[in-house]
Structure 1
Amino acid sequence: MDTTHLISIQQFCTHYKVSEDFINTLHEYELVEITITDNENYLQTNQLNDVEKMMRLHYDLNINIEGIDAIYNLLKQVEQLQSQIRTLKNKLNSFEEL
């Protein structure tokens, strides 16, 4: 399998000095996706920014995994609402041009 867009969890955890249990817990809460290839666990590179944010929330601000889960679910809802607002504004602008 092509691992171009994947990073080994072991390598990630070594680089950031975090335990693999933290990543596995994020996976249990469905906050990250783990890809298994050749008996090795990987994160998708497009998830790295989110994982780094979750690490800062957990290690710097002492927010537990349940709190991180709540925060990320709320952030997803905010993004969806912002997208709906943009769509509605575009529709409104098209009506105003008539």
Structure 2
Amino acid sequence: MAQQELILIETLCTHYEIEVSFVDSLYSLGLIEIHTIEQTRFIPEEKVADLEKMIRIHQDLEVNPEGIDVIFNLLRKINNLRSELADTKNRLIRYELENQ
């Protein structure tokens, strides 16, 4: 199993100029994943891009964590619907080719 790279939460907060409480609120809503090792909290490196999106939404659009939760849920639903639509189109194409 590949070792997961973890980034210290305090380092991210300093870099992005955000409060640790903002990260805590995102975690309490289930929007980000936090790993705790010896009472030190980290975020997996591959999840930092999602955190960056949430920070931009919060800072640029002044959306609170609950609003960010709604936005990310809607984005997930849109992606699921796009996937379903692509699958349906592929089945339709196969059906049309079989019946020519």
Q: Return the TM-score normalized by structure 2.
A: 0.86
Larger radius of gyration: 2
For residue 70 of structure 1, what is the aligned residue in structure 2? 70
Q: Which moved more, 1:82-91 or 1:37-46?
A: 37-46
Q: How does 1:15-94 map to 2 (within 5 A)?
A: 15-94=15-94
Measure the CA separation in 1 of the matches of 2:74 and 2:89. 22
Alignment: residue pair count: 97
Structure 1 letter corresponding to 2:35: T
Measure the CA separation in 1 of the matches of 2:62 and 2:95. 48
- The percentage of counterpart residues that share the same residue type is 36
Deviations 1:39-98 (A, max 9, x none): 211111221121111111111211111111111111111111111111111111222221
Stretches of structure 1 lacking an aligned partner (at least 5 in a row): none
Structure 1 letter corresponding to 2:18: V
Stretches of structure 2 lacking an aligned partner (at least 5 in a row): none
Coordinate RMSD, CA, aligned = 1.6
Contact 2:4 2:44 in 1 (8 A): no
Which ranges of 4 or more aligned residues in structure 1 deviate by more than 4 Å? none
